[in-house]
Amino acid sequence: MSHAGALEGAARPAFGPAAARTRRAVPIDGPAWNVVSPMQKRLRLRDQVEWAEGAGALAAVHAFLVALPEDEWLHF
């Protein structure tokens, strides 16, 4: 059984850090990037980092973010 399949029958929190750890936060891209507020983008990044922590991938996320050039960060 896959990891996703193991979670299908389990009760999942609807929101908050525990929810972010149980479901992957999909990146905002394509046309959605232009209509989503900067705060929503920030919250999505936080959700993705929390998911990565729960999935044991926090070191990879850290390495990616540290290597990201300054001009590719969204500042608001």
Helices 38-54 + 58-67 axis angle, to 10: 140
Q: What global pTM score does this model have?
A: 0.64
**Residue 27 Cα to chain centre, angstroms:** 7
Which parts of the chain sit beneath pLDDT 50? 1-13, 20
pLDDT score recorded for residue 21: 54
Q: What is the pLDDT of residue 16?
A: 56
Provide the total of helices (H) and of strands (E) in the chain, helices listed first.
Answer: 4, 0
Sign of CA dihedral 53, 31, 39, 68: positive
Q: Where are the domains of the chain?
A: 3-72
Residue type, 25: A
Tens digit of each residue's pLDDT (9 = 90 or more) over 24-34:
778 888 899 89
Contacts for 70 with CB less than 8 Å, ≥ 6 apart: none
